[in-house]
Structure 1
Amino acid sequence: MTISLQYTHITVNDVDESVAFYRDALGLDVLNDVASGGHRWLTLGSPAQPGLGIVLSDPHAGRSQADGDALQELLTKGVLPNIVFAADDVDAAFERVRASGAEVLQEPVAQPWGPKDCAFRDPSGNTVRISQAA
């Protein structure tokens, strides 16, 4: 038996605004775009990891009003889990994302535990890290 990650979800305020960050700044490909009940689920991926989808959706997509409201509150506070991407050249990735106008949280730095990484906020305030192995 084998098991692997197929999808991971990122909650965003506005799918259209966020796709520009994830597609244009990070270079991910749009794999699927599904609308239902006034909400959208947009799946992105990378040729470097076929079979892995990153799904963007708003807090109320597929959830009750109360659950969506609670998730929106966590998103607004900026306390949802971050996402970490791997890159073979973190400096080039940093420059590409910075050029998009994304909010820089940390310029590339070699961490004491090994990797060199940097951090940004996506348009919804989620922390996005980019890491390069030592």
Structure 2
Amino acid sequence: MDFASIRIITDDLEQIVQFYEQVTGVPAVRATPVFAELNLPSATLAFGHTQTTQLFGQDSARPADNHSVIIEFLVDDVDREYERLTPLVDQWVQKPTTMPWGNRSILFRDPDGNLVNLFTPVTEDAINKFRR
């Protein structure tokens, strides 16, 4: 089994897609006006307007209601990303911090309140774990 994608359901597709295009530097592919994807090398980050959930059944997904998932991106230099994203991000949860497990990390919320983590391995063990 391969992990393929994660999909964010939103009421404001344009805002969330533009936000993640700026965070990742990857342009979105728009299959329909209510669905878009960012095709990253490791997986796809997909976005669906709440209209798309009608196909899954009533109340199958609620936008801006995530309290348990963190969307994580491995980056080359988290401190440089923090500087680049400071004008874009409204809500910082954690400024650059080296975590006990060896990653230097920043945490922020996207426009729908989803928690996003950008991290760079900095210890030998963490670097070996994520070696590309």
Q: Structure 2 length normalisation: TM-score?
A: 0.78
List 4+ stretches of structure 1 deviating above 4 A.
none
Work out whether 1:67 is the aligned partner of 2:60: yes
Counterpart secondary structure, 2:18: helix
Q: Equivalent residue for 2:10?
A: 12
1:43 aligns with 2:37: yes
Aligned-CA RMSD value: 2.0
Contact residue 60 and residue 67 of structure 1 kept, 8 A? no
Distance (Å, rounded) in 2 between the aligned partners of 1:90 and 1:96: 10
SS in 1 for 2:11: coil
Q: Deviations over 1:44-96 (max 9, x none)?
A: 023xx16x22101134423323324xx24xx33x4141211000100111122
Offset of 1:25 from its aligned partner? 3.0
1:128 to 102, 116, 119: 116
Does residue 88 of structure 2 align to residue 100 of structure 1? yes
5+ residue gaps in structure 1?
Answer: none
Match of 1:116 in 2: 104
What letter is aligned with 2:57? S
Give 3-state SS (helix, strand or coil) of 1:43's partner: strand
Mark the CA change 1:82 to 1:13 in structure 2 (over 3 Å): closer, same or farther.
farther
How many positions carry a matched residue from both structures? 120
Counterpart in 2 of 1:23? 21
Unaligned runs of 5+ in 2: 123-132
2:10 and 2:70 map into 1 onto residues whose CA distance is 12
* TM-score, normalisation: structure 1: 0.77
User: 2:49: which partner in 1?
Assistant: 58
Tell me: CA distance 1:94–1:12, structure 2 relative to 1, closer, same or farther (3 Å). farther
Percent identity over the alignment is: 23
SS in structure 1 at match of 2:86: helix
